[in-house]
Structure 1
């Protein structure tokens, strides 16, 4: 229920006997508890409003159907794209990108949920267990916060 209410975010799914890892979604907790802040006191209300209103705005990106990333410079224009995230991954580790990330196909990104298509279940599981951190970091740098990644076969 906590993940459905977006209070907990799964950072690593439980795969092959591994325990899943979660983190708190402080922004969602703040949104849900905001009506109660004045009940605690005016100073608490002011501090909380200052803390959670001063966050940087979330990037809103209109995504179209993108082709597989090219290992060239990112296209100019727009606040961020799947292609630029893939270019950044290829710069970090070209061999790893060529073996695993170049095969990923972008499907959609809505509400923090990134949908990707993988060429095989093996590739999906390997990315989930070994390469999720660099993938999430590259995508969040271009598209905004990622709460979950869904793979389609």
Structure 2
């Protein structure tokens, strides 16, 4: 799905659609994701030039707006770039701040699971071809979280999935169910996520829980790697 640049006669509605998708996705996640998305929404609504696809704002200004220190700004901007939401267009130099672009299509793709929470009209408008996941209710948060129980196939990952599902079915459905095994080498299991955002979130916030479940199945495992 390629969203046209939000300029011209329909610019306002496209902008609201992007912000609505971000909002709905944030509200369906935990406080860490909510805070991250609130921060990028602040950048979008205050300093982003939609027509030129440019965000020009110094770290000190961002830190002041976010009520954080410069180190937090550097760390958060790096995460947003790793997720593909921010794109560095021109590196800052002496007397000149960096210029970023926004990958709006990446944002929409990563927030796609939350579209049905807004309503069928929203899904139909953003995805007229009907490629959004089916079977998710229009206003009920449960379908977003629900996931079938893991299928036992004798693998370490399947057994770990069963344990994670038993511990917390909601977190399993939101974050672990979509991960697939991509190989085991040197006591490190590689898992593939559907998006870079998904992989980054699990690696940042859920890796310890994931590794603990894996080691309960196979104590020889030393690490787990997430690919998006």
Query: TM-score, normalization: structure 1?
Result: 0.48
Question: Which has the greater radius of gyration?
Answer: 2
Q: Which has the higher helix share?
A: 2
TM-score w.r.t. length of structure 2: 0.33
